[in-house]
Structure formats: structure tokens, C-alpha cells
Amino acid sequence: MAPKIISHTIPSVTGVTSITVIEAFNAAMSNAVIECYDTSLSLGDSITFDIGYSGDSGKIFTGYVRNIETELVGAKNRIVCEDELAKASDYFMASSDPNIPFDRSNIDTADLIEDILNEAQITSFSDDTTLSVTWGTQGSVSFNLATAWQACKTIIDALAWHLYASRTGTAHLTEAKPYAEGGESITFTWNVGTDNIMNINHTKSTEKLRNRVVVYGREGVTATASISSAFLPAGFFKTAVLASQLFDTNSFAQNVADVNLELLNRLTEGLTMTVEGDYTIEPRKWATVTVVDADISMDITGDWFIYQVEHRIDQSGYLCNVTLTR
């Protein structure tokens, strides 16, 4: 087999020595770091680039330049970039009149998220959800003195939903969960023992497990959901609390408690490994991992959710450090 030739296309950048792109399911945004000898990019410039191999490459990042560092020795530049949702983290919702904050009533979740993102000048939005949840049925939904990301996070955390920016710069609202719910579409297959898989590590932990969820809303609005866990001492509960004035009815609060218990009452099982670089690997996709070497005793065969991936190109080649969960 002929050796693969690494390829990248980064406008306004020459003499590239390394590229790192990190995408994570639990992160507010993706980020990229480019090290090069020359660039005409400036702070705040938009940037879109591809990586891969000659004849097989694709878009991996769309965002903005956040920081540029230049070394005196060697005149090397280090360009730090963040994706479209960086604007949501940067935009502080502060009304000129505190009596007239951002305010909505009887509004669907997707419309509410889109309106908040529009405040931060994020205008490319896709509603990928199948459920409809209405906010502000007993009064208005108001945000002030908070970032647009904090406002969105309050909403998506309550429903155990997910918001991310795609590689093309579109913000997506989805119900994606980091565990199997049935009907998952498998995108990748990795065979441990025959494929070129390096530095594999398997972990199990109860650190993030919560088997009791308490919700506090407006005055008089509360809810609790709990269940015993086979992974904790008998009768022991680890509690998560969600509190917001946006929870305006007991039924709404109970739904928040129930969906978050379903999300959090789980053993954290993780798999980290290094594989040959592939620009199509990204969070929210699914992979089947199979142990085909009888000398490997890890109990890891099965379907895994891609939780985080680091794409790294340097003088050593192109590798992906992948974190999976199930």
C-alpha cells in the first residue's frame, strides 16, 4: 500500500509545523491551534480549514482567531482559534434598562435557543430535536447579566439536551446522549489487535454518577427523583441539584428531575486510544470496538459513543486521540 500523504488547506497561513483540533461533547466550543512560520491572519478573523490526506481530506474547523503568539527565536507563530459558539460565551446579556431584559413567554425550546444565539450574532441555527418543550407558561423567561452561553446552558441542562457548533459553523440543538438509546448508526469499526491502535486504556468510575436529583424552581416549585444504584453502597445517594427561576410549575420541575436522573444515574465507562488520523472522526458519532487478539483481556467489545477527539498533525504524522464512553 502506498504511503498516505498528509494534506491541509489553511488560507492565509504558510509554513505549517503542527495543527491540533480538539472537539468534545462536554465542551462549550471546539478549538484549534496552528503553529506556522508565516500568517496574514489577525485577531477576530474568520477561519475555515481542511485536513486529511492527498485525495481524501475535508473540512474540520470553522471559527475565529482568538490569539496569536509569535516567538522571537525562529519567528514561529501560534494561532489559537475557537468555533462559532465562542461568540455565545463572549456575549454578555446586559440590558441598557434593567427593567427591560431579554424576555420571552410561551416559547418552544428551539425558538428560545435561537433567539438567545441571535443576541450573540450567531444566525446559522439548526433544530435537530424531535420533542417540543414550552417555556414561560406561567410568566416570562428572562435573562440579564449572563452570557448567551450561560443562558443556553441553563435551558439545555434542564432537558438533558445538547448544543454544539458543527464544522461548518452552524449551531445545532439536539437530544444526543452519551450512551446508547437504541437504533444507533455505527460509523467506525476498530479491531483491537489487528488495527493500528495505540495507547489504549479502559476505565470505570462512579465519580459522575448521581442517583438523586433535586430541582428548585420559582417559589413553591420543587421536585425530586431518585433510585438505588447497584454501583453505590446500599441506601446511599449522590445528589445533583438544578435550580432556576425558569422552572415555573411542579410538573415542569419533575420532568427536569426525571430526565436528569436518567442521564446521571450511570456508571462512567471510558475508553481512550490513539488511532491513525481520520478527519471524519468527531464527537456524537458511534463506533464498534472489537477485541480480536486472544491475549488482550480487556472487556471492551461493543458499541461506543465518541465523546472527544483530538486531531494532531506534526512532524510525526497524523494521529487522533479518541475518548469513547458507553
* 6 pLDDT higher than 80: yes
Do 312 and 192 lie in one domain? The reply is yes
DSSP secondary structure code for residue 80 in this structure: E
Q: Which has the minimum average pLDDT: 67-81, 111-125, 203-217?
A: 67-81
Which residues on adjacent β-strands are paired with residue 51?
8, 58
Name the domain boundary from 17, 51, 82: 82
Residue 181 lies in a domain: no
Do 167 and 193 lie in one domain? The reply is no
Strands (E), 73-220: 77-83, 92-93, 102-104, 107-108, 125-127, 134-135, 141-143, 146-147, 162-165, 171-174, 186-192, 198-205, 212-216
Residue 128 lies in a domain: yes
Global confidence as pTM: 0.94
Residue 62 lies in a domain: yes
Do 129 and 167 lie in one domain? The reply is yes
Do 220 and 146 lie in one domain? The reply is no
- CATH code for position 295: 2.40.30.150
Residue 1 lies in a domain: no
pLDDT at position 288 = 97
The per-residue pLDDT for range 63-96, each reduced to its tens digit, is 999 999 998 777 799 999 999 999 999 999 999 9
Do 192 and 286 lie in one domain? The reply is yes
Do 277 and 235 lie in one domain? The reply is no
| Rounded Cα distance, 132 and 141, in Å | 16
pLDDT at position 323 = 99
Residue 101 lies in a domain: yes
- CATH code for position 151: 3.55.50.10
Do 11 and 62 lie in one domain? The reply is yes
The per-residue pLDDT for range 39-56, each reduced to its tens digit, is 999 999 999 999 999 999
Asked whether the beta carbons of 173 and 116 are under 8 A apart, the reply is: no
Neighbours of 280 (CB within 10 A): 12
* 194 pLDDT higher than 90: no
Domains contained in the chain, number: 4
Neighbours of 135 (CB within 10 A): 21
Provide the mean pLDDT of the chain. Answer: 96
Residue with cell 456524537: 284
How confident is residue 1, by pLDDT bands cut at 50, 70 and 90?
low
Q: Which domain holds residue 282?
A: 186-205+268-325
Query: Regarding predicted confidence, which is higher, 92 or 182?
Result: 92
Do 195 and 222 lie in one domain? The reply is no
Name the domain boundary from 82, 116, 136: 82
Do 280 and 194 lie in one domain? The reply is yes
| Rounded Cα distance, 103 and 97, in Å | 12
The per-residue pLDDT for range 243-272, each reduced to its tens digit, is 999 999 999 999 999 999 999 999 999 999
Do 146 and 234 lie in one domain? The reply is no
Residue 49 lies in a domain: yes
Do 13 and 114 lie in one domain? The reply is no
Residue 294 lies in a domain: yes
Name the domain boundary from 82, 112, 133: 82
Residue 287 lies in a domain: yes
Quote the Cα angle for 312-316-322, to 5°.
35
Do 157 and 238 lie in one domain? The reply is no
Residue 80's region, left for phi above 0, alpha for psi from -120 to 50, else beta, is beta
